[in-house]
Structure 1
Amino acid sequence: MRQAMDAGLDWLARSGPGTDARGQASPVFGPGDGNLANYLWDGSRVQIVDFEDSGYSDRAFELAEITEHVGSWVEHPLDVPAFLEHFDLSPAETVRLWESRRLLSLVWLFLPAGEERENPRNPPGTAERQAGRVLELLA
């Protein structure tokens, strides 16, 4: 886990504001919480139920929120490539998606790593599994 944290912090230090594609991404009003439990599918449409973290965002960041949220892989893994095939992203959005996925994977490494052992929110081994995800995204 330490290796993933160090690699993530190194990537973060190298990723200055000049590498960000935010200015070229499609703006949206986003829920800001990629937990799949917040998206209700009735067979024909998706409804979003949690707007606690909502606000100005962009498509690429919101897609990264969904793909990297711990709820998208810890129990019932989301098929990320199949999911992302449904979105026609511009080249700038593709760059922004990868930057955001790396950033959010790092967030999801630190959150479970800092949980209290007596009262964990995630299943045992989540932080260790997330460390592998971080290293894959940084490769």
Structure 2
Amino acid sequence: MTSDRWSTHAITVGPAGVTKRFRATDHDRCAREWRALRLLSRYAPGLAPEPLRADLAAREPTVVMSGLAGAPLRGAPLTAGQVEALAAAVAAVHGSLPPDVLASLPPRPGRPEELSGLVRSWYPRARPQAGDQVGRAMDDGMDWLSGSVPETGGPPDVPWVFGPGDGNLANYLWDGSRVQVVDFEDSGRSDRAFELAEITEHAAAWVEVPLDVPRFLRHCDLTPAESVRLPHCRRLLALVWLFLLSFDAATGAPRNPPGTAERQAGRLRDLLG
């Protein structure tokens, strides 16, 4: 899960391809991006940019890939066909790798156990600064989290998938007939319920133009175990975003419109029921 506030790279578009340059502290992110592009090129060609070359040893490592012609799905109303194509692209990424290849990958960063630890560390400093609506939602979220079962080693009865690791709709490009996918710096082994929640709870899915989440999820053929897990993942990620948006609102130059954290508080409390 990569917040827009924590950009780890700069992108340059040129005739020789798209260059993604990472910060000196983000060699691991660059390596994950390169690995994902190479794997998808082999096992799901056409779904993502083609890997052209990389310099993983540079002080600021780079990946060069082919350009894609599609327009981002973020910030515009989506037709029923686009929502269906989005779900198809997501499913294609999730199921792209053979089981033995998938099993050899490390888990993606930002798994639920990591996020649970993060929000517990954020709460003591964020809560005193929060307004009434946001603060009450933080309290409700932490109460829910304290009663949830800690996750270690992966969810039971839920199969692993290849996870892109970032649910921002700007990473899904519509070319008029299909959706292609970019941005794999947080990719790795994951599970489908968590990756779907990354999309439905990302600020990009509702701050500007809301994604039709029920329609999107109807196109995702979840197993019974995944259907049980999905609400848990959505609540956790909504809680994470509540903190991120409250931090954003407290800056001198917030990236989101006034009241976004309060809107997120309402979204979280709806998910908590």
Which TM-score tier does this pair reach, normalised by the shorter chain?
Answer: over 0.9
CA root-mean-square deviation:
1.4
Distance 2:232 2:159 in 1: 15
1:122 and 2:256 equivalent?
yes
Q: 2:236 aligns with which of 103, 111, 136?
A: 103
Question: Could you tell which deviates more after superposition, 126-135 or 36-45?
Answer: 36-45
Q: What is the Cα deviation at residue 38 of structure 1?
A: 0.5
- Structure 1 vs Structure 2: percent identity of aligned residues? 69
Letter matched to residue 123 of structure 1: P
Distance 1:118 1:39 in 2: 30
1:75 equivalent in structure 2: 208
1:41 and 2:189 equivalent?
no
Letter matched to residue 125 of structure 1: G
SS at match of 1:32: coil
Distance 1:31 1:123 in 2: 27
Q: 2:220 aligns with which of 87, 92, 100?
A: 87
Distance 2:156 2:172 in 1: 27
1:132 equivalent in structure 2: 266
Please give the per-residue CA displacement for 1:68-106, whole angstroms capped at 9, x wherever unaligned: 000100001000000000011111101111110000000
Distance 1:13 1:123 in 2: 31
2:141 equivalent in structure 1: 8
SS at match of 2:161: strand
Distance 2:158 2:253 in 1: 39
Instruction: Please state which structure has a larger fraction of its residues in helix.
Output: 1
Distance 1:44 1:23 in 2: 37
TM-score (norm 1): 0.92
Q: Which has the larger radius of gyration?
A: 2
Structure with more contact order per residue of length (Cα contacts < 8 Å, sep ≥ 6): 1
Q: What is the Cα deviation at residue 44 of structure 1?
A: 3.1
Unpaired segments ≥5 residues, structure 1: none
1:28 and 2:187 equivalent?
no
Distance 1:118 1:29 in 2: 38
Please give the per-residue CA displacement for 1:16-47, whole angstroms capped at 9, x wherever unaligned: 237xx822223111111100001112233321
1:52 equivalent in structure 2: 185
Q: Number of aligned pairs?
A: 137
SS at match of 1:102: helix
Distance 2:231 2:165 in 1: 17
Question: Could you tell which deviates more after superposition, 60-69 or 39-48?
Answer: 39-48
Unpaired segments ≥5 residues, structure 2: 1-133
TM-score (norm 2): 0.48
